[in-house]
Amino acid sequence: MLFCEKCGSLLIPFTKEGQRVMKCNSCGFISKDIKNAKISEKVKESKDISVIDKEIETNAICNAECRKCGHKKAYYWFMQTRASDEPATQFFKCEKCNNIWKEY
């Protein structure tokens, strides 16, 4: 690491007129002496990638009977499907069979 001779901040690599120099972002000092500077970057690769193939339901759950399978629990949410002066439509999704129905 190289530090600025004027303010002591860290110098960063910079290209000026096609030449590599070290520049201070704080005071603008430019050092052309980069013989002792080693510019490198360490990248840590991670081969662990988690794949989630299960859909995660984020809606609230309530007691509502599914008209298709008779299951007694369903997710629910509200959506404005008509004019703004009309009440919102309530949608239900069966926890067991994923059947969706609505109530006004």
**Nearest to 6, CA basis, from 29, 37, 33, 32:** 29
State the pairing for strand pair 73-79/89-94: antiparallel
Residue 86: CA count within 13 A, CB half-sphere = 10
Q: How many CB atoms lie within 10 A of CB 12?
A: 13
What are the residue numbers of the active site? 85-86
